[in-house]
Homo-oligomer: A and B are copies of this chain.
Amino acid sequence: MPLMQRSDVPRRTVYRFSLYLRALQRMEGVETVSSRTLAQVAGVKPPQLRKDLAYLKPMGCRGRGYDVAHLTGVLADVLGSARPQGVILVGVGNLGAALVRYQGFRKEGFEMVAGFDIDVKRERRADLGLVLYPMSELRSFVQERGVRMAILTVPGAVAQAAADELVAAGVLAILNFAPATLQVPPGVVVNDVDLAIELENLSYFIQ
């Protein structure tokens, strides 16, 4: 099979690539892994995993399985998390500050490089260990540092305006925590995260 174009990989498969990468990272000291084992660790079925990995190129060794180190490298490369990537935070309120303190994605190659807010002088944000700037400096910062990803944690009412500024500055990807449906031009990607929806979804299934 010839090298597949980026858009030919199904959306759900791309999502599972991350699951596989996490599963591989949990395997210390293993050189080779079978589709059965890796699928179980990742929480999918073996045929699904084989079909997913087949999108990359012939990756496995029939009769033996997949080379852990090699597969880890290929997945990180495809996903774009092979090299560290800078992310900015827009909206340093409750949730934003919480995410800064959390920093749970640093080990996956993403680092918060700056925070932006209308009100930079909130005293209680002084201990965050993150440089804060006013929104007016967003554009120059993004352009000088080549930032391509942003986490949006502003109130819903100003989310679209903030997104517009991000897009104008050149940001290509937005992880949106605001309760709003963002309109962005083609070429810009938005992922929505809403913890209330996740809880609500759970509550439906336990009634």
Interface residues of A (CB under 8 A from B): 1, 4-6, 14-15, 17-19, 21-23, 26, 40-43, 78-81, 85, 87, 94-95, 97-99, 101-105, 108-110, 148-149, 156, 172-175, 179, 181, 189, 191, 193-207
B81 touches A203 (CB 8 A): yes
Nearest CB of chain B from residue A90's CB, rounded to whole Å: 15
**Could you list 18 examples of A-B contacts with CB < 8 Å?**
A18-B196, A18-B201, A22-B179, A41-B181, A79-B200, A79-B204, A80-B200, A80-B206, A94-B104, A98-B99, A104-B195, A149-B202, A149-B203, A172-B206, A173-B202, A174-B202, A175-B195, A189-B206
Nearest first, the 8 A-B pairs at minimum CB distance are: A98-B98, A80-B203, A43-B181, A173-B202, A105-B196, A108-B196, A172-B206, A18-B197
State how many angstroms separate the Cβ of A194 from the closest Cβ of chain B. Answer: 8
Residue of B nearest to A9 (CB): B204
Chain B contacts for A42, CB-based, 8 A: 181
Contact A197 B22 (CB under 8 A): yes
- Which of A5, A95, A197 has the most chain B CB atoms closer than 10 A to its own CB? A197
Query: Are A149's CB and B189's CB within 8 A?
Result: no
Interface SS of chain A: helix, strand, loop or mixed? helix
CB distance from A141 to the nearest CB of B (A): 18
Chain B nearest CB, measured from A124 CB (Å) = 11
Contact partners of A102 in chain B: CB under 8 A: 94-95, 98
In the complex, chain B residues whose CB is within 8 Å of the CB of A18: 194, 196-197, 200-201
Give the chain B neighbours of A193 by CB distance below 8 A: 193, 195, 198
Q: Given A95-B104, A202-B189, A206-B172 in contact, is the A15-B181 Cβ separation under 8 Å?
A: no
Q: B94 touching A101 by the CB < 8 A rule?
A: yes
A156 / chain B contacts, CB cutoff of 8 Å: 26
A26 surroundings in chain B (CB, below 8 A): 156, 179
Q: Give CA–CA (A107, B110) in the complex, Å.
A: 31
Q: Which residue of B lies closest to A43 (CB)?
A: B181
